[in-house]
Amino acid sequence: MHERTLGDVVLEVRNISLSFGAMRVLNDISFDVRQGEIRSIIGPNGAGKSSMLNVINGFYHPQEGTITYRGETRHQMKVHKAAEQGIARTFQNIALFKGMTTLDNIMTGRNLKIKSNMLLQAIYWGKAQKEEIEHRKKVEEIIDFLEIQAIRKTPVGRLPYGMQKRVELGRALAAEPDILLLDEPMAGMNVEEKEDMSRFVLDINDEFGTTIILIEHDMGVVMDLSDRVVVLDYGLQLADGPPDEVRSNQAVIDAYLGVSH
Amino acid sequence: MIYREAGEFKASYREDMAILPIRQDRWFMWALMAVAFLVIPSIASEYWLGTIMLPFLILALAALGLNVLTGYAGQLSLGTGGFMATGAFAAYKLATAFPELHIIVVILLAGLITAGVGILFGIPSLRIKGFYLAVATLASQFFLIWMFNKFGWFTNYSSSGVISAPPMTAFGDFFVTGPHATPVAKYLFALTLVVFFAMMTKNLVRSNIGREWMAVRDMDIAAEIIGIKMLPTKLKAFAYSSFLCGIAGALWAFVHTGSVEPLAFDVNRSFQILFMIIIGGLGSIMGAFLGSAFIVLLPILLTNAPHLFGLNIPVDIISHIEFMVFGALILFFLIVEPHGLARLWQITKEKLRLWPFPY
């Protein structure tokens, strides 16, 4: 679709293998992600796509292989470190803070940027209050961007599914990430909601220059949005390349349509 | 129609982020404060101040502490009594070792010592959750009470094990503990502290740390992935919660009963405070006060109600009825309204905003 020149490699996944006991979830996966691109990971259910995202943001520790992020090869990493390095994500099954309002959920996304200590926050004076107001402004910008003004003060547990997905995207955006991992942001949505969400993904990529790694089942969406696509099947990497190339790859067609033996 | 925010326009985020953004709420709060500080001390009898208002306030402070830990940060604790005892004994040791210290300093230091103990017993919370954590904190409850009974050092080697709090003044001749303290003085002293800490707690829960606590409560994995560190966040909740419980314990021993005894802080106390926040409302400042009022007032109501109807029920039966009513109410709230009285209050307000229209 769009001819774009891609930036330097920001994230490199090399020979990653991950098993849970005897279950081999990822087998020798290698690909790279370039600055400012929309990189999709596709594959049938159980292919290991979500596991791949969990490896990228440090939630799973692969047995073999390395991940190099901005020239730095990481080994064992604490989960909260990924956020500090500018990697944010949304989840396949929404993982919002159900008891909190939309506003508070997105504000929580900015937790790493708030510097005042507990005592100042208890007095709620001076720096603490100034910070709250500053971050509230930023959060309002995100709320405007995602068009969720009306549900600002609604506890997210009461929101419909599509809106929750949007709030979750807002929470990830609040961290002003360099890389945004989106795990099936359009699952279970109707056409209109999918169009909205696609527009947001493109706008985030365009306006903020955020690199996006996307998992999605809707092939139309994937082919339209992505710069490059990685295809996984049962933990194996089938193909890697631009959408057109992947679409015509025989192994990919076999995996999706089945093949007669 | 009377209670609504229509026509109130917020021109800045500061106004929108106020604790009580609706004007009627602010009036109500000022009126409540006026009643608490001016009306009650001038009209209430000694009985009311000493046996109802004082325990209500002090237990509300402890409930506030537990609500931070359980209601906001989602860490179930049954160690409240133990932490209150720590506060009481720490205050006693400080007041006897350094008699020149001001009572406010003694109480704050006692709170800080309890916070330290709370952090120590909060460390397992990184690994264990829910009921298992409750059992671990229950162990702290028994351990702390056992420790205060076992070692004479805590009671300054008093032979009876029961020790009385030394008389202390807030300023000049204004005694707040000991035999010279009037119930009004005790009440005002406790009220001031409780209002102050309630404000502080409200500020914390609407700030970043409060959001982090609630994030850990609602979805700990997502919280960690957006950069919240589990251990410091949980330990801060334990520290602040036990800080408040410690202060409540010190107030209970010094201002309310005047004597420091472990028996006042046994496991029943822990359950009592837990019931307060369940009935009052988990994750609500208001809930701590409503729950405390409910649990302090209910026994008095149950004792006096039969007399009003001319019935003569023996005391032991009344105390049994009390248990039954408590049990039934806790079941009722857990099933019907897990968010407690505070949620009912919230629903009432939402209904009032639309009244007399249905929507």
Tell me, rounded to whole angstroms, the distance of Cα A260 from its chain centroid.
35
Asked if residue B74 belongs to a domain, the reply is yes
- The pairing of strands A9-20 and A236-241 is unpaired
CA B353, CA B343: separation in Å to the nearest integer?
15
Cβ contact, residue pair A107, B211, below 8 Å: yes
Please tell me the distance in Å from A230's CA to the nearest CA on chain B. Answer: 24
Mean pLDDT (chain B) is 88
Q: Which residues make up the CATH 3.40.50.300 domain(s) of chain A?
A: 1-86+178-261
- The pairing of strands A72-74 and A64-69 is antiparallel
Asked if residue B233 belongs to a domain, the reply is yes
Residue B280, pLDDT > 70, answer: yes
Segment B297-324 mean pLDDT: 79
Q: According to the model, what pLDDT value does residue B217 have?
A: 94
User: Do A153 and A96 contact (CB within 8 A), yes or no?
Assistant: no
**pLDDT tens readout for residues B134-190:** 999 999 999 999 999 888 888 888 777 668 888 888 777 778 887 778 889 999 999
Cβ contact, residue pair B215, A112, below 8 Å: no
- ipTM of predicted complex: 0.90
User: Do A186 and A11 contact (CB within 8 A), yes or no?
Assistant: no
**pLDDT tens readout for residues B232-273:** 999 999 999 999 999 999 999 999 988 888 889 999 999 999
- The pairing of strands A38-42 and A72-74 is unpaired
Where in the sequence is the domain holding B258, given as residue range(s)? 22-264
Q: According to the model, what pLDDT value does residue A1 have?
A: 46
Segment B333-349 mean pLDDT: 83
Please tell me the distance in Å from B272's CA to the nearest CA on chain A. Answer: 25
Inter-chain CB pairs, A–B, below 8 Å: 104
Number of independent structural domains in chain B: 1
What is the DSSP secondary-structure string of B34-94?
HIIIIIHHHH--HHIIIIIIHHHHHHHHHHHHHIIIIIIS------HHHHHHHHHHHHHHH
Cβ contact, residue pair B226, A98, below 8 Å: no
Residue B75, pLDDT > 60, answer: yes
Cβ contact, residue pair B217, A109, below 8 Å: no
Domain A1-86+178-261 has CATH 3.20.20.70: no
pTM summary value: 0.90
Q: According to the model, what pLDDT value does residue B4 have?
A: 66
- A119: nearest CA partner in chain B: B204
Per-residue pLDDT of chain A (261 residues; tens, 9 = 90+): 455 767 889 999 999 999 998 888 999 999 999 999 999 999 888 889 999 999 998 889 999 999 999 888 887 788 888 899 999 999 988 999 999 999 999 999 999 998 888 888 888 888 889 999 999 999 999 999 999 999 999 999 999 999 999 999 999 999 999 999 999 999 888 999 999 999 999 999 999 999 999 999 888 899 999 999 999 998 899 999 999 998 888 888 888 777 766
Q: According to the model, what pLDDT value does residue B323 have?
A: 80
Which residues pair with residue A39 across a beta bridge? A213, A228
Segment B19-38 mean pLDDT: 89
Residue B203 with chain A: CB contacts under 8 Å: 121-124
Question: Shortest CA distance to B85 belongs to which of B348, B211, B220, B270?
Answer: B270
Measure CB to CB from residue A97 to each of B201, B215, B225 and give the nearest one: B215
Q: According to the model, what pLDDT value does residue B324 have?
A: 86
Which residues have a Cβ under 8 Å from the Cβ of B244 and sit 6 or more positions away? B61, B62, B64, B65, B68, B111, B197, B201
Cβ contact, residue pair A121, B204, below 8 Å: yes
Residues B131-159 as b or e (16 or more Cβ within 10 Å = b):
eebbebbbebbeebbeebeeeeebbeeee
Query: Does B20 contact A at CB distance below 8 Å?
Result: no
Asked if residue B193 belongs to a domain, the reply is yes
Residue B204 with chain A: CB contacts under 8 Å: 118, 121-122
Q: According to the model, what pLDDT value does residue A254 have?
A: 84
Which helix H or strand E contains B315, and what residues bound it?
helix B315-336
Cβ contact, residue pair B222, A97, below 8 Å: yes
